[in-house]
Amino acid sequence: MDRLPQELIVQIFSLLPLSLALNCKRINSRIAHVLSTRSFAKQLLRNWVHCRLQTPHAVSRFWLKCPIHYQYAYADLYLASMQSISWGSFNLTGCIPPAIGSLARLNILILRKNDLFGHIPPEIGFLVQLTSLDLSNNNLEGSLPPELGRLASLVHLNVSTNNLNGPIPSSFANLSSLVELNLSNNRLSSSIPPAIGSIKQLKILRLTNNELSGSLPDEISNLKQLMILGLAKNQLNKYIPRTVPHGSKLWNLVRCNITVM
């Protein structure tokens, strides 16, 4: 077996079902090496996935739960040309793979209302053409990756109703196209960063039901387009920044929120 050409090893073992092929890594170190390459993963997936590429079963089995080189191979073979992924309520279970960052053509990524867990992969920050990102209503945990701040074309960002914690990244100041930001129903902490005031196109800001504390930043007065503001169920001070003009639409929005905090 040690003397077989790598190409022949790929041909032989790619005829096996995926679970059996993965177990064959135990034969020897050379077999394990060949079976861990992305080229072998692509050949195996070509033989076994066929036309059921975007069914819940295929996505859960071949993309979310396989070793990382299989995840990248699956993305290269079947997802790389996609501009929109709308897999809301798709019964997906598993972690969002780092391979998501290789789908450079994506404009829309919707994975809401599934059973996704683990961290939001920082590789999502490579999807610079994204205009809409919705990861809401899952079981995601950990902090919001600062790499999300690279998504300058993003218009809608919704990660509500998860178990996310930590601060709101200051890199969000770079989300210059953002119109809607929904971070509600998590466990985000610390203060609301002044960077929020740099998102001047923002019309909807939902931060309800977190563990945010401190005062609203003076920079919130820059959000002159804001129409919907949710701040309830936090630990924020009941104080309207002096930079917000008294009686303005924004002043009334803030006032309505702090009276119910």
Query: Structure tokens of 24?
Result: 């064959």
Residues 6+ apart with CB under 8 A from 209: 184, 185, 186, 232, 233, 234
pLDDT tens track for 69-105? 888 888 888 889 999 999 999 889 999 999 999 999 9
DSSP state, residue 24: G
Cα-based distances in Å from 205 to 110, 176, 220: 19, 14, 11
Compute the radius of gyration of the chain from its Cα atoms.
23
Is the pLDDT reported for residue 239 higher than 50? yes
- The strand order across the sheet containing 84-86 reads 84-86, 108-110, 132-134, 156-158, 180-182, 204-206, 228-230
CA 149 to chain centre: 12
Cα-based distances in Å from 46 to 43, 49, 75: 5, 6, 12
pLDDT of residue 1: 52
Q: Are 101 and 79 in contact (CB under 8 A)?
A: no
pLDDT tens track for 9-51? 777 777 777 667 777 766 777 777 777 787 887 887 777 655 4
Q: Are 212 and 190 in contact (CB under 8 A)?
A: yes
Query: Structure tokens of 220?
Result: 């919130």
Class of domain 83-260: alpha beta
3-class DSSP state of 199: coil
Record the pTM.
0.88
Structural domain boundaries of the chain? 1-81, 83-260
Closest by CA position to 150, among listed 120, 166, 119, 126: 126
Tell me which of 104 and 53 has the higher pLDDT.
104
Is the pLDDT reported for residue 185 higher than 80? yes
Q: Are 184 and 205 in contact (CB under 8 A)?
A: no
